[in-house]
């Protein structure tokens, strides 16, 4: 039995019963693939069900407002995925008359869909012979074939894709791809893989050469950017002052508080002494409360957020500042760190 057949046999015995595996609908598969990018199945599953219930087809998705999509996406992270999904849905309605394409050559031209996602949708929906290479597949291939080329450089990605294409089961490409991905997710895990029950360990380079912990290889990550976010919290009865972010930075078009960012950590007194703070809130601000700095980790950024609750109202409003009723906050999309703070502040 060859490598692919072994994994498919393992898959039949051990696969999880996931809802997107019970359909060939390209739209449903697209939803699952985008939601599960850089997201664990356990975390992504509720989002998949919520999106599918609210937007059962691509036309319904395309008709949504961006705020509605981001609100539903809240807590999932990497919000550009949600924004790109809306662009994709609208592109499908415009260019494909609302029929979600299932062919690789059409999928690859849609917004937010790269080689991996196009291969996955076409393979799972129409059994097109396209090898899918995600993080799980990278790991399986690197360990089994002993590939030391880094997976996060162009040369390495091409090498892995070529090998994946070579071993693809052309008779059952969709099944083969599902088996490869599931095998990496459940058995050939990043840490503590279950090598003792692995059906292909006899031919595995990493197992036979004590290299499991060394593969796959990755080049050192880019330097992490440290950012210090000094948020000003202003309440007025049952309203709170909010800020709509622009589309040029993290959390694009989402909502947070008036913000004064600094290059290093500032005390409360230092924030209140900033010229830009004084220009909006005046010279004599009274602090109601301060809160411990919260660290929020993004892929290439570490955010250090502090919240300063003051009693005085701004003497002028920035263009994107506005008061919002607390009981209406659930209707707007906020970064997780803001959402958690507001819930704690108002005991929601």
- Which ranges of 224-307 would DSSP assign to H, the alpha helix? 268-272, 275-281
CA 26 from centre of chain: 20
List alpha helices for 97-217, DSSP H.
104-107, 115-126, 135-145, 154-167, 173-186, 205-208
Our answer to whether residue 149 is catalytic in this structure is: no
- Phi, psi (deg, nearest 5) at residue 207: -65, -40
Catalytic residue among 33, 53, 66, 261: 33
Angle at 102 between CA 105 and CA 172, to 5 degrees: 95
Q: How far, in Å, CA of 58 to CA of 86, rounded?
A: 9
Rg of the Cα atoms in the chain: 24
Distance CA 229, CA 32 (A): 33
pLDDT in tens, the chain (348 residues): 789 999 999 999 999 999 999 999 999 999 999 999 888 899 999 999 999 999 999 999 999 999 999 999 988 888 889 999 999 999 999 999 999 999 999 999 999 899 999 999 999 999 999 999 999 999 999 999 999 999 999 999 999 999 999 999 999 999 999 999 999 999 999 999 999 999 999 999 999 999 999 999 998 877 889 999 999 999 999 999 999 999 889 999 999 999 999 999 999 999 999 999 999 999 989 999 999 999 999 888 999 999 999 999 999 999 999 999 999 998 899 999 999 999 998 876
Taking the CA atoms of residue 118, residue 92, residue 34 and residue 109 in that order, the dihedral angle to the nearest 10 degrees is 40
Q: Where do the domains of the chain lie, and which CATH numbers do they carry?
A: 3-214 (1.10.340.30), 225-346 (3.90.79.10)
Between CA 64 and CA 55 the distance in angstroms is 9
| Structure-token match 């058995």, residue found | 187
Per-residue tokens: 333: 């999309």
70, 75, 77, 82 alpha-carbon torsion, rounded to 10° = -20
Q: Is the pTM of this model over 0.85?
A: no
Nearest alpha-carbon partner for 200 in 213, 215, 192, 188: 188
């Amino acid at each position: 039995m060859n490598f692919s057949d072994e994994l498919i046999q393992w898959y039949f015995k051990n696969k999880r019963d996931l809802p997107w595996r019970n359909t060939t609908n390209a739209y449903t598969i697209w939803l699952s693939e985008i939601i599960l990018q850089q997201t664990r199945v356990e975390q992504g599953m509720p989002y998949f069900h919520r999106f599918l219930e609210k937007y059962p087809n691509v036309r319904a998705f395309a008709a949504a407002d961006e705020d509605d999509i981001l609100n539903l996406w809240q807590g999932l992270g990497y919000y550009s995925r949600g924004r790109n999904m809306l662009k994709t849905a609208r592109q499908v309605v415009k260019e494909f008359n609302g029929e979600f394409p299932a062919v690789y050559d059409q999928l690859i031209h849609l917004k937010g869909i790269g080689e991996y996602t196009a291969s996955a949708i076409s393979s799972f929906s129409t059994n097109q012979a396209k090898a899918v290479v995600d993080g799980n597949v990278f790991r399986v291939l690197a360990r089994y074939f002993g590939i030391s080329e880094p997976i996060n450089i162009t040369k390495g990605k091409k090498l892995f894709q070529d090998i994946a294409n070579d071993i693809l089961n052309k008779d059952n490409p969709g099944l083969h791809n599902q088996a490869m991905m599931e095998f990496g997710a459940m058995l050939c895990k990043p840490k503590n893989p279950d090598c003792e029950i692995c059906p292909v360990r006899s031919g595995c380079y990493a197992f036979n050469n004590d290299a499991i912990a060394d593969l796959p290889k990755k080049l050192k990550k880019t330097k992490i950017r440290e950012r210090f976010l000094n948020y000003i919290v202003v309440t007025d009865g049952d309203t709170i002052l909010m800020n709509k972010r622009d589309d040029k930075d993290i959390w694009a078009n989402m909502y947070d508080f008036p913000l004064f960012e600094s290059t290093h950590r500032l005390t409360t007194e230092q924030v209140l002494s900033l010229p830009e703070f004084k220009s909006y809130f005046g010279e004599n601000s009274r602090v109601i409360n301060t809160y411990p700095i919260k660290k929020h980790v993004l892929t290439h950024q570490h955010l250090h957020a502090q919240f300063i609750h003051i009693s005085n109202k701004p003497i002028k409003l920035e263009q994107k500042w506005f008061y919002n009723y607390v009981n209406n906050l659930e209707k707007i999309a906020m970064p997780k760190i803001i959402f958690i703070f507001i819930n704690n502040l108002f005991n929601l």
